[in-house]
Structure 1
Amino acid sequence: MVAFELAVQDAHGLDVAARLTVDRIELCSALPLGGVTPSLGFVEAATGTAGIPPVHVLVRPRPGGFEYEPAEVAVIVADVRHARAAGAAGVVVGGLRGGRVDASLVERVIEAAAGADVTFHRAFDNAEDPYAAIDALVGLGVRRILTSAGAANVADALPALARLVEAAAGRIEIMAGGGVRPGVVGKIVETGVPAVHASAKHVVHDAAGVSLGTADGAGRETTDEAEARRIIEALRGGPAV
């Protein structure tokens, strides 16, 4: 059975994940910016919620590119330790150096994760040679790779996704993500991926006063339970109960 991971960025998303047959959640903040590290309080709320599936915490200190300065690496490693201490079942990280996997960063993360699953996120899609990146991540002991096969939407790169699954050859899990909607789930599954990741979100327009930032004022995103159900039903061929 293909696993389903739901990206969650607020308390409502946690409630949805607890109600549906989600295999794990990626806990994050600020998905419109690509996702950044959630607060420790949110991590503790997630791991302490009854019925919640395993929590995998995104550890990304800022938006933008994936080459990190030493001070940023130190923050990443510290956040990994805090997430594990708070009960996270895994962490989601990514880093590149000169277009290649930042092996030093990943080694430090794996050590700090202390045996928990480590997922390499869509920084992978910026690697110059994805096949070399797969080999590097296998050698480092990473559990899975989240990828859109280099496209903005994974549905636009299905042949490339299938080639990545073939190259991984069961050594590392290839998890499809990026623009996943119910109507494309069947074709994604046909590539042979063992897992699918989606945010299943919609925009809520709250009453706004004074804007607090350049990205404020257009509404906020939250989990769309109906959309998440449709994705699960497309994956499982049955009700998402």
Structure 2
Amino acid sequence: MTAAFETAAVEIAVQSAAGARSAIAAGADRLELCQALEVGGLTPSLALVEAVCDAVGGERVNVLVRPRGGGFVYDADEIAVVAADVRAIVACGAGGVVVGALDEAGLVDRAALQRWRAAAGDATVTFHRAIDASAHPDEVLDALLAEGVDRVLTSGGALRSIDGVERLAAYVTRVGGALEVMAGGGVPPADIPAILASGVDAVHLSARARAGLGASAGPGGGTAGHDVTDATVVAAAVAAARAPRG
């Protein structure tokens, strides 16, 4: 599956209905909905999925299904929870899900992925940055192609996508248009033209700002402020992605 946009798609990670509306209004093509971005993102509640799908239309919404923080090797209970979450999220109207699992050798956990792909039905399946945690990314890509995954989110194995552009270009060549390659990981708008020069189909960023910094935080684990979607950053990313490329 290749990107459906004449220019590269811009995907924004959001954590609320307000953030979803803000990102779409600023020109984002689609969203990844999650919670707890500070730990890399976790599965959002079904109520939040419903609220976001109602706010912007479910076809634009891809929902992260990640049962916990930490690594991407999951046990049978966790795999079952992800499968149940995938079915419930698709039933809420989301257009896609974002999943990922590796085995102890750093290869794709194909049994888990097959179960989740089946649970997703006709919804889009994105394999997230678990690929960047693997020492065998080419083998991961080959497995994703074989399993019918639609999209892969990757920084090219680097902390920042701009530092992984050579590998991103190699991924694009390897999949030959059969899988959408989306660059994500430390993507500011200023880096987008150089990242897109690698040939990727889309870019992904969180476009976060902090709000509520004046609110008190208690000893029970609260912190001052919370993340919100910055429409100015989204608009800058969209402009960078839409700029003419040579």
State the TM-score, normalized to the length of structure 1. 0.94
- In 2, the alpha carbon distance for the partners of 1:26 and 1:124 equals 17
Stretch deviating more after TM superposition (227-236 or 42-51)? 42-51
8 Å Cα contact 1:22/1:53 also seen in 2: no
The aligned amino acid for 1:175 is M
Tell me whether 1:131 sits opposite 2:113 in the alignment: no
Query: Pairwise CA RMSD of aligned residues?
Result: 1.4
| Alignment match, 1:189 | 196
State the secondary structure of the residue aligned to 1:49: helix
Letter in 1 for 2:176: A
The alpha carbon displacement at 1:31 in A equals 0.3
Match of 2:215 in 1: 207
How far apart, in 1, do the equivalents of 2:217 and 2:166 lie?
47
Tell me by how many angstroms 1:83 deviates: 0.3
Pair 1:232–1:210, CA change in 2 (3 A) = same
Query: Among the aligned pairs, what percent are the same residue?
Result: 45
In structure 1, stretches of 5+ residues that fail to align are none
Corresponding residue for 1:169? 176
Letter aligned with residue 44 of structure 1: E
CA distance in 2, matches of 1:222, 1:180: 17
Question: Which amino acid in the other structure matches residue 233 of structure 2?
Answer: E
**In the alignment, structure 1 residue 55 sits paired with structure 2 residue 61:** yes
SS of the residue aligned with 2:93? coil
CA contact (8 A) 2:107 2:140 kept: yes
- C-alpha distance in 2 between matches for 1:100 and 1:38: 26
Hey, what's the Cα distance between the residues in 2 that align with 1:50 and 1:130? 34
What residue in structure 2 maps to residue 11 of structure 1? 17
Aligned length: 236
SS in structure 1 at match of 2:203: strand
Counterpart contact for 2:59–2:93, Cα < 8 Å:
no
Q: Which runs of 4+ in 1 moved over 4 A?
A: 50-53
Counterpart of 1:109 (choices 113, 116, 126) is 116
SS at match of 2:55: coil
Q: How does 1:45-124 map to 2 (within 5 A)?
A: 45-50=51-56, 54-98=60-104, 99-124=106-131
In structure 1, what is the equivalent of residue 4 of structure 2?
A: none
Native 8 Å contact 1:176 1:196 kept in 2 = yes
Gaps of 5+ in 2: 1-6
* Structure 1 CA distance for aligned equivalents of residues 69 and 116 of structure 2: 19
Aligned to 1:158: 165
Per-residue CA deviations over 1:21-72 (Å, capped at 9, x if unaligned) read: 2211100000001000000000000111156761110000011100001111
Which residue is 1:217 aligned to?
223
